Amino acid sequence: MEESDIKLRDGRIIRGEAPLNLETPFEKLDSFITPTESFYVRTHFPIPSIDRDAWWLRIEGEVEKPFAINYEELLDLEWKTIPATLECAGNNRSFLEPKVKGVQWGLGAVGTAEWTGVPLSILLDRAGVKANASEIILEGADGGVLEDPKSPPGELRFARSIPVEKARRDVLLAYKMNGIDLPAEHGFPVRAIVPGWYAMASVKWLQRIIVADQPFTGYYQTIDYAYWERREAIAELTPLTKMQVKAQISKPSQDEIIPANSLVCVQGVAWTSDGKIAKVELSTDGASTWSEAKLLGEPKPNAWQLWEFNWQTPAAAGKQTLIARATDSFGRTQPSQRDRDHGNYMINHLLPIAVEVR
């Protein structure tokens, strides 16, 4: 995309206006925390306008004591603050060839914020989850009618599920983002934060929690936000869950002009779902040879890690290709080729950044 084609809103790239989809300009990344005003925005419907004094969150389904809680009561509960990286499951989609449907994200549908909120386990304990429960469905207040002939007829609300075990372990009902009340575009008054999972699970504008005793098969769990997994040589439709290990280069940016015969600091971030980033490597020769980059700061669970690499640029002018590759503590690394079973999602194969040495 030509620079001149890019439209910005509040410094973010407009990838869609109805519904609103804004991308962080990734080349501006310079800190562990993404400022709230730069954080990417992914919506599926108009942003709900919610009055916090009229808001209730209901907990129901396979529980002993269904109840509803309001905003004030929620803020009185035990809370914690965690950093967590959220990545849209379609991040990097614009790099796919051939082109596929969906928001054409570049590198910036990912960000890290500090989220403050109540552990979901506290509400589940209060409700008393029955022994037969297997999943927790999170329902947002955002909804509308989809054009997809495969969608349910009539009004649809955004909803997604997580296993009970994951819900108890580390899911947060967040009401603050980087120390301030959640902005409307990020899910005011309360959103889920599901650490390590693609962000479709971190349901915004949360209004209902349904404890279920069988796998949830709502639209955003099956027709959308799913991929094909091969079992017994048959492809099975599988809901997206964990983020795939990935490194991205923030500097230099695509097509940037770099001085020849200089020391250039290549910078970026890397993240995975669980475990931590074990190493980030950089190739300046089209994935023939790799050099280890320097990881910056201490690894934090469920959050990206900054890295840098001092690159001695060649003396001769010409095109150069930079490729970053992350490996995590479970030994998972990025594939060199796109896995087509992943459909429009889970894009973590090696992406070259082309620069021009002059």
One-letter identity of residue 116: T
Identify the CA nearest to 39 among candidates 16, 9, 19.
9
CA 226 to mean position of chain CA atoms: 15
Q: Does 156 bind a copy of itself (CB under 8 A)?
A: yes
Q: In the complex, what is the shortest distance from the CB of residue 149 to a copy of itself, in angstroms, rounded to a whole number?
A: 7
Which residues, numbered 209-228, are part of the site for a copy of itself (CB under 8 A)?
Answer: 210, 212, 215-219, 221-223, 228
DSSP string covering 206-272: EEEEEEESS----GGGTTSSEEEEEETTEEEEEE--BPPPEEEEEESPTT-EE-TTSEEEEEEEEE-
Which residues, numbered 182-211, are part of the site for a copy of itself (CB under 8 A)?
Answer: 210
Closest to a copy of itself by CB, 126 or 338: 338
Q: Total binding residues for a copy of itself by CB under 8 A?
A: 34
Closest to a copy of itself by CB, 105 or 271: 105
Tell me how far apart the alpha carbons of residues 102 and 194 are, in angstroms, rounded to a whole number: 23
Greatest alpha-carbon span in the chain: 72
Closest to a copy of itself by CB, 207 or 250: 207
Residue 120: phi and psi, rounded to 5, are -55, -30
Tell me how far apart the alpha carbons of residues 29 and 87 are, in angstroms, rounded to a whole number: 15
Note whether 114 and 80 are within 8 A (CB): no
Which residues, numbered 253-272, are part of the site for a copy of itself (CB under 8 A)?
Answer: none
- In the list 5, 76, 78, 232, the residue contacting a copy of itself (rule: CB under 8 A) is 232
First to last CA, the chain: 22
Stretch that binds a copy of itself, among 9-17, 32-40, 236-244, 256-264 (CB under 8 A): 236-244
Closest to a copy of itself by CB, 139 or 142: 139
Please list, residue by residue across 219-253, b when 16 or more beta carbons sit within 10 angstroms of its beta carbon and e when fewer do. bbbeebbbbeeeeeeeeeeebbbbbbbbbbbbbbe
Closest to a copy of itself by CB, 29 or 138: 138
Q: In the complex, what is the shortest distance from the CB of residue 94 to a copy of itself, in angstroms, rounded to a whole number?
A: 17
Q: Does 79 bind a copy of itself (CB under 8 A)?
A: no
- The residues, any chain, with a CB within 8 Å of residue 306's CB and separated by 6 or more, are 32, 267, 268, 269, 295, 296, 297
Q: Does 154 bind a copy of itself (CB under 8 A)?
A: yes
- In the list 1, 145, 235, 296, the residue contacting a copy of itself (rule: CB under 8 A) is 235
Note whether 133 and 102 are within 8 A (CB): no
Q: In the complex, what is the shortest distance from the CB of residue 120 to a copy of itself, in angstroms, rounded to a whole number?
A: 18
Closest to a copy of itself by CB, 152 or 301: 152
Closest to a copy of itself by CB, 6 or 235: 235
Stretch that binds a copy of itself, among 29-37, 287-295, 300-308, 339-347 (CB under 8 A): 339-347
Nearest-5° Cα angle at 226, 223 to 230: 120
Alpha-carbon separation of residue 334 from 68, 143, 308, 351, 355 (angstroms): 43, 35, 18, 10, 22
Q: In the complex, what is the shortest distance from the CB of residue 239 to a copy of itself, in angstroms, rounded to a whole number?
A: 9
- In the list 4, 54, 153, 337, the residue contacting a copy of itself (rule: CB under 8 A) is 153
Which residues, numbered 90-149, are part of the site for a copy of itself (CB under 8 A)?
Answer: 100-101, 137, 139, 149
Q: Does 236 bind a copy of itself (CB under 8 A)?
A: yes
Residues that bind a copy of itself (CB under 8 A): 60-61, 100-101, 137, 139, 149-150, 152-154, 156-157, 159, 210, 212, 215-219, 221-223, 228, 232, 234-238, 340-341, 343
